[in-house]
Structure 1
Amino acid sequence: MCKCILEMPRKKEALTLSVPPETKEQLEAIALRLGIFWGKSPSVSGLLVAIAQHKLEVGEPFTLNSTQVAALQQAIRLLLDSKYAAQAQAVSNLLIERGNLEAPLRQSLLQQVSKPTVASRIQAEAQIDKQQPFLVLYRNPKGEDLAYTARYAEISFEEKRFYLEIWCEETEDIKNPDYPELIHNRCLRFDRIQAIVPTDGQWRQQGLDYLKVYLHFYRGMVTAYEARLRDISNEVIGDVRQVVRRVSNPFWLIREVFRYGKDCVIVSPHNVRDRFQQELIDLCRQYNL
């Protein structure tokens, strides 16, 4: 056994602690890691004082269930998309240091915070505030590098993520457009933006291109429907809520209408209604209906 004499300078008292030699070495290693020294040597007594004064926490790291981890990961994504990089880093560090996580999840968190999402959003907002056209270098899901000349841009929020919506000059990347009226619109993920560079030209005052979509809501959705910023009109006639909305990207509208089920119908225009109908047909075929 090894006896350590721990001096308590303020009280001028001595405390004798008997521990095995390997325990003394472990305590010194902890003190060394935490930067607690007496002279040039790691101080076990200083380590114990720090614990007693609640300057250090002891015990097992807290553990998180899968639901809690998913919630905190979503919080990190939202903080990054909202340009709160420092807060996202703090939450990520908390999880990495104290969350008792598996190695793949630790690596995923480290990669998530290091992505250029924050810089891309800050750069885009700066150009939007100045109404300054800009070039966007973008890598699509297929791994193709594309370049867009944005004459107008705004930031939208869809399904728990922020996106950069732009009106651009380039149309060659869309070979067979489902909506020719919207061929200049693009909806870009910030984490796929490679660079944003200011360019010359005029800012497009008309904004994005839009389709005027007519929706009818029935039954419970007559009262449960929450108005959207792009709603042009919203009124209840009889037992139907009739909504007219400006839609820049029908992809998101179709996903929204699917959630409403039989309580919502796309009335017009026909190309959006037909696209939703085709989605329903494809879904029924998948289930042999």
Structure 2
Amino acid sequence: MTRQKRSITLSIDETEKAQLEQLALDFGQNWGDRPNISKLLKAIATGKLRLAANHDWDKDRIDRLARGLNLLKDEGYWEEALTLAQLLLERSELNYPLRQELQAWVDRPGIPWRLEIDRCIRQQRPFRLTYQDAANRVWHFTVRHAKIERYEDHQYLHCWCDETEGNQDIAPLHHNWTFRLDRIPDEAVLSPAAGPWQPELSYLEVEFFLVGGLALGYRSKTKADIINEWQPETQRRRVVRRISNTFWFLRDVRRYGADCCIASPADLRERFVQELEQWMASYREEKP
């Protein structure tokens, strides 16, 4: 005995019918080679096809999610970043440059050495990093502490290494190295290293004084400032900052100009004085 199926009647015009038939074609709901609206509706009712909200995300939402994706990548959360990227690619609101950028990253989500570095950092495992730079020099480093940090517009591998030869920082920080990630070639090799993981980078405390309006308006922008005190008798502010790299410290305080004076350590103060003297010499020698 044939089982009788229930039927429904749709009140739609020819344009709406054509649109439903096109959807049936798009989602493979056909009878033979013809689109079948009944099959389309049944697929929706049984959950084989799911309805989604209209593609009406505004630009601000897309921009916020794209920034969040970059933060996930910066912190090494690759699986979460990949999920978010795939979610964004499902949206029709993406502009072409962003879609192209996301698709390129999804197709090749991580450089092998970068993924391994993230794992070593999370597991606190020392590793050997070997790579050849643009000048064809081969570098070998035994890394015992590392973290990925962003300075200005680039990401860097900030690490403590056994090797100190060629390090141009002052002596207490000779074990610290900073490598721009986008300058490490794809062919770089990582391998396990014996020995312990260092609890942190090398650090030193730098004392400097601020005067004038800067002394009154200065607010610590970093947890690295371990002392920040106003000295009413001299009308200046004393700051002690814990640093791991003098290059970035000098780059930061250089913008304070004459309102900032480095007091200690003496070798860092002397290095900065030498830089200032080189500047002055350049201005005396170079004429417009």
Fold shared per TM-score above 0.5: yes
Report if the CA contact (8 A) 1:234-1:242 is conserved. yes
Listed one character per residue, the Cα deviations across residues 41-70 of structure 1 (whole Å, up to 9, x for unaligned) are 76434546849x9942475664637xx766
Aligned mates of 2:274, 2:63 — CA distance in 1: 33
Report if the CA contact (8 A) 2:24-2:30 is conserved. no
* Unmatched segments (≥5 aa) in structure 1: 1-8
Report if the CA contact (8 A) 1:214-1:266 is conserved. yes
1:254 has 2:244 as partner: no
Report if the CA contact (8 A) 1:138-1:195 is conserved. yes
Give the equivalent residue in structure 2 for 1:151. 144
TM-score by length of 2: 0.67
Shift of 1:242: 1.0
Aligned pairs for 1:219-230 within 5 A: 219=213, 222=216, 224-226=218-220, 228-230=222-224
Q: Kindly provide the amino acid, as one letter, of the partner of residue 124 in structure 1.
A: I
Report if the CA contact (8 A) 2:129-2:189 is conserved. yes
Give the direction of change, closer, same or farther, for the CA distance of 1:89–1:281 in structure 2 (3 Å limit).
Answer: farther
Give the equivalent residue in structure 1 for 2:8. 13
What is the aligned counterpart of 1:200 among 169, 175, 194?
A: 194
Aligned pairs for 1:72-221 within 5 A: 72-112=65-105, 114-116=109-111, 117-126=114-123, 128=124, 132-138=125-131, 146-154=139-147, 156=149, 158-159=151-152, 163-172=156-165, 174=167, 177=168, 179-189=170-180, 192=184, 194-204=188-198, 207-218=200-211, 219=213
Q: Kindly provide the amino acid, as one letter, of the partner of residue 8 in structure 2.
A: E
- State, as a whole percentage, how many aligned pairs show the same letter: 30
What is the aligned counterpart of 1:266 among 257, 262, 265?
A: 262
Deviates more, 1:248-257 or 1:91-100: 91-100
Shift of 1:142: 6.7
Shift of 1:118: 4.7
Paired residue total: 266
TM-score by length of 1: 0.67
Aligned mates of 2:136, 2:41 — CA distance in 1: 55
Aligned mates of 1:145, 1:25 — CA distance in 2: 63
Listed one character per residue, the Cα deviations across residues 139-166 of structure 1 (whole Å, up to 9, x for unaligned) are 6577866321123445555448764422
Shift of 1:103: 4.1
* Unmatched segments (≥5 aa) in structure 2: none
What is the aligned counterpart of 1:30 among 16, 26, 32?
A: 26
Aligned residues: CA RMSD = 4.5
